[in-house]
Structure 1
Amino acid sequence: MTNVENNVVLWESFHALFKSCFGFDYRSLEDIVAALESANIKIYWHSLSNWEDLEDLDILHEMLKLHVIDGEVFVITEASNDDNNGPFQLKAEELEAFVKNHLSQYGECFFNGDVAIVSLKNKSVWAFHHEGVFAYIDQF
């Protein structure tokens, strides 16, 4: 099992890193959508009509079809907003184990709400919206 307890990043630190990389504040996935829409950049959302019936790993694999994740990433799930949590900092090779164990570690599915997987190195975001659509965004 991946132990991510020590990989939780303070929100304040993540906000500074995100703004330095992308040029705007991150408080939620909606901030990314709003920033791109205000710059007239279209996000190409892909639908998963049966996403609620899929396992978290199946959804992740669908997202990875858009673009491979490499290097270090920050993962933001609903659990990131719980007390004493924040974004989770992981290596790409740890992501599958983290997704697989998310339910047992945090009591909720990984794709239980909006999810952002942020790569500062690649200046990109894999986004999952709680209504069952997902996108790879690298147009910042």
Structure 2
Amino acid sequence: MIAPRISTHRWLAVAACCLAPLALAGCSPASATTATVTSSPSALPACKAPAADGLPHSAGSITQTDTGVYCLGVGKLIDIFLTAPAGSASRWSEVQIADTSVLSYGNNGVMTAMRDETPGVVVGRARGVSTVTSTLPNGQSWTATIVVS
């Protein structure tokens, strides 16, 4: 029995259809993200979820009383609400991020801060660990650690 002969054009079309997804998979953003995530051999520290705040856009929130180590996914948000001490005219400074390759500033334009409150939003950018800090004019500081995975 003789096998049917496939024209060169049809063979090229079949090969292109079969090989194109494989070639594109190597160039997709998902594969770049996977390479970034798996390239770090160091283990991340233990962390806990931030308090659920009920805001639909957020993974949770932390305040000036939260000084632990908190978990956050890549692309997820944590809201930060720092309230000035009672009876003080001083407010917390703007929230600072130690490592902007791990965390980035989110848009807090949709939040209305309460009186004497400094709001902030941070977004998990890449796997790793960073701190967020703020300071009162009297020198008192606040720090929390965020683990992005």
Q: TM-score, normalised by structure 2?
A: 0.26
Answer 1 or 2: which has greater helix percent.
1
Q: TM-score, normalised by structure 1?
A: 0.27
Computing the radius of gyration from Cα coordinates, the structure with the larger value is 2
Relative contact order (alpha carbons < 8 A, sep ≥ 6): 1 or 2 greater?
1
